[in-house]
Every structure is written in C-alpha cells, then in structure tokens.
C-alpha cells in the first residue's frame, strides 16, 4: 500500500509509525559485556558517551578481536581512537578496514564502504601532509644561504 500524502508530505498509518518507532527505540539497547556471546560486529558505537571513552575503547577492542576480518568494527574503533586523540592508531584501523573491504569477505553496505574509504583517504592525506611539512634531511645538511643567519 502506497503512503498517502498530506500537503506534499508522505503520511504513514499510525500502526506503521508506531512499529517504526518501536524498532528504532529497541535498537538502542545497552551494549553487551565484552566476551558475551551476543556481541555483534556493529556493537562498537552503541550508546557512545565520551565520559566513558576508555571503557568504550576496551569494549570495541573486544568486538574487533571477536570479528577480526570484518571491516565495520575497525572502522568504528578508528572513530573512537580519533576522539581519544590517537590519530596514528585510528589510521591503522582505517587502513585495515579499507583492506578488509577490498578483500570482500564481509560485504558492507554502500554507506559504510564510503565512510571507510573517506577515513582511508584522510589518513593518506594526513600522512602525506606531515611528510611534506617535515624538514628533509638534505635541507638540514645544506649550507646556509649567504646573508642568512
């Protein structure tokens, strides 16, 4: 049944709207403890609270350990590591997630693939920018130009 429209907006029957609301709210459950059997590959970012970032990272470590060949947990841990001020570790996870997507053992949806690729490109750009900004060994050994101190 096609949704009716009201003043150009789609209208859903109340029972369908209530069902969708229940589905959204029921997906916001507390994360399982690390090591429990109900841990899922998409558990890293459930109920993120920056005050609990160390505990979230520890939980996400367990998710990555439980699903080492799935790109999503690594991508999500990369975000948490970036928030924790650990960009090198975040990039390591981002690059590994991109490699896992390329392997294709665990397909991800287009949005997740784009997000992983964006993080990969940012890591490559940051690495390239840092290398370009660093003084080169040749420049450090070169004699100073006349008239410059």
pLDDT at residue 36 in the model: 55
Q: What's the pTM value of the predicted model, to 2 decimals?
A: 0.58
Longest dimension (CA), the chain: 82
Q: Which two tokens stand for residue 34?
A: 């690390």
pLDDT at residue 126 in the model: 79
Going by pLDDT thresholds of 50, 70 and 90, the confidence category of residue 29 is very low
Please indicate whether residue 82 or residue 1 has the higher confidence score (pLDDT). Answer: 82
Measured distance CA(71)–CA(64) in Å, rounded: 9
pLDDT in tens, 106-128: 999 999 999 999 999 999 887 77
- Note whether 98 and 120 are within 8 A (CB): yes
pLDDT in tens, 46-55: 777 788 899 9
- Given a cut of 80, whether residue 99 has pLDDT beyond it is yes
Domains by residue range for the chain, with CATH? 39-132 (1.25.40)
The SS3 call for residue 6 is strand
pLDDT at residue 33 in the model: 54
pLDDT at residue 7 in the model: 55
- Given a cut of 60, whether residue 22 has pLDDT beyond it is no
């Amino acid at each position: 049944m096609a949704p009716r429209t009201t003043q150009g907006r789609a209208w859903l029957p109340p029972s369908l709207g209530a069902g969708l609301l229940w589905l959204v709210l029921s997906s916001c459950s507390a994360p399982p403890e690390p090591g429990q059997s109900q841990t899922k590959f998409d558990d890293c970012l459930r109920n993120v609270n920056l005050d609990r970032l160390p505990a979230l990272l520890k939980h996400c470590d367990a998710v990555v350990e439980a699903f080492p060949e799935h790109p999503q947990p690594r991508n999500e841990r990369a975000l948490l590591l970036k928030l924790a001020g650990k960009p090198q570790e975040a990039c390591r996870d981002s690059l590994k997630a991109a490699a896992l997507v390329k392997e294709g053992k665990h397909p991800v949806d287009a949005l997740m693939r784009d997000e992983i690729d964006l993080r990969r490109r940012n890591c490559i750009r940051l690495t390239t920018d840092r290398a370009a900004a660093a003084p080169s060994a040749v420049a450090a050994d070169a004699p100073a130009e006349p008239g410059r101190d």
